[in-house]
Every structure is written in C-alpha cells, then in structure tokens.
Amino acid sequence: MGQTPVVYGESTRPPRGDYSRAKGDYICAQNYAAYTEAEHDTYHRLYERQSALLAGRASQHFIDALPALGAKERIPRFEEINERLFKATGWEIVGVPGLIPEVPFFSLLAQRKFPVTDWIRQPEEFEYIVEPDIFHDLFGHVPLLFNPVMADFIQAYGQGGLKAAELGACEMLSRLYWYTVEFGLIREDGGVRAYGAGILSSVGELEYSVNSTEPHRLPLQLERAMRTLYKIDTYQQTYFVIDDMQQLLDLANTEFAPLYEQLSRQPTIGAKELLPGEQPL
C-alpha cells in the first residue's frame, strides 16, 4: 500500500525511511534481518555512551526501567521487548518508517501502541541526528512505558490528541508533549533530573538541561507550557519541571476544550522569554 513521508518543520533533506512498507496506520514490520553488523555496533556504542551519563542526570524512574529494554549489544527485536512491556503495562511497540502524521500518531498512543522508527542513524550522525531513529525511540521513550503512571499519561495524551485534532488545536497540545515527554525535567534528590526522551538520548543536552546555567527551568504549568514556542535545532532554552510523575496524569484529566479556546486568544511566548514575576528554579 505505502504511505506519504511526513515532514515537520523546515528541512532541505527529504524524510528518511521506506514508507512504501507502511500500512494504512503507518505500521510496518521490523525487518530484523536487514540490520548490518555495523548498525548493531552503532546501537551498542550509542547505548554504552548514553547509559554511562545517566547517574546524577537522569530520573531514577528511567534508570530503574532501562534494563527492561534487554541486551545492549545489538538492536533489540520488537517482539521480545513487547513480551515484557505488555505484561508490565499493557503497552506494545510497533515499527514505523519514520515520522508519521499527527492523527495516526495519536490513534496509536490511544491504543497503547508506541511507534518506533525501525532504522538507525549513519556513522556520521553519531553525535547528532535531526529526526528520531530507532535509538532515540527505544532508549529515550520505551523504558518509561514500563512505568505505570507514565504509560497511562501517554495513552491519555493520545486520546486527548484525537480530540485536539477535531478542534484544530494540535499545535498547542504538541507543545505540552514537547515540554514533557520529549524534554521534561523532574524534581529528584534535591535537584532536577531528566525524564524526557529528547534529553535522555542526547549526549550534550543531558548535561546541559540539568546543570547548565543558561536555560530557564520553570515549574510546569499547563497554560504556560502550551503557549511556549520551542526549538527543534538547538538545545532548549526553557525546560518545565514536574514534582512527580503523578502530576502529568493529573494534568491529563484537565478539560482541554475550553482551555484551547482561552489560549487561542492569547499570544505565544518565545522559547527563552520570561513573563513578569516568573522566577526560574
């Protein structure tokens, strides 16, 4: 059948991934036999490098869940992860050729299915990759799907996303995903730790987000985050901090329709802008 590649933001390079393999819901089978030894080695080296940086920077929730991914020496088989994941939280991961449109993405999350890109970056992209690959998706996102509270939040986000699509409010809701699931921080051990996948899979931003004096770190407040623009090509200039994982699930129970209406009448906030009276952590 095949599907059309998806592009978010501006890029001079066409999207990667073989979308001709994608079904109507954008799911495609993981072609495990196609991975080369060099690609398995890339995954292993990325895993080793990133896991060595977690202590004192990553949330303990993430550190505790990471072993559930399985052996780090080779790219994991999705079905083997799913045996453990479904037993833990009722989730499963499904292969996709790359970025997928918002509505199919929300629909999968609402069904407790997390889309994982099935290809891995090239050696020259070892330090930085523009779009998510299998390492970003597996290492960054999947461990916290073993956490019952985060698992429920991401499903609730998918359900809310389907409603947002009907109301034309996807952009506002996407900012919440960006500042929590992708680039969220949490209070732990008297400081802040990373739980967002975009941070956890980045060698530079993991240190920067937690310890640099450059970015703002603000307590997560729903309306504030949903008005705040974000950067896709640099480290974040503002991070939002939660007190605990339950706070995310509580936010998901908000009645969003009137909130979208309210926010549509307010201006957006720049990625490093502080509002009067705000005091960064």
Which residues have a catalytic role annotated?
A: 136, 141, 182, 201
**172 token code pair:** 């506002």
Give which of 149, 213, 129, 215 is closest to 179, Cα–Cα: 215
Secondary structure in 3-state letters for the chain: CCCCCCCCCCCCCCCCCCHHHCCCCCCCCCCHHHCCHHHHHHHHHHHHHHHCCCCCCECHHHHHHHHHHCCCCCCCCHHHHHHHHHHHHCCEEEEECCCCCHHHHHHHHHCCEEEEECCCCCHHHCCCCCCCCHHHHHHHHHHHHHCHHHHHHHHHHHHHHHHHHHHCCHHHHHHHHHHHHHCCEEEECCEEEECCHHHHCCHHHHHHHHHCCCCEEEECCHHHHHHECCCCCCCCCEEEEECCHHHHHHHHCCCHHHHHHHHCCCCCECCCCCCCCCCCC
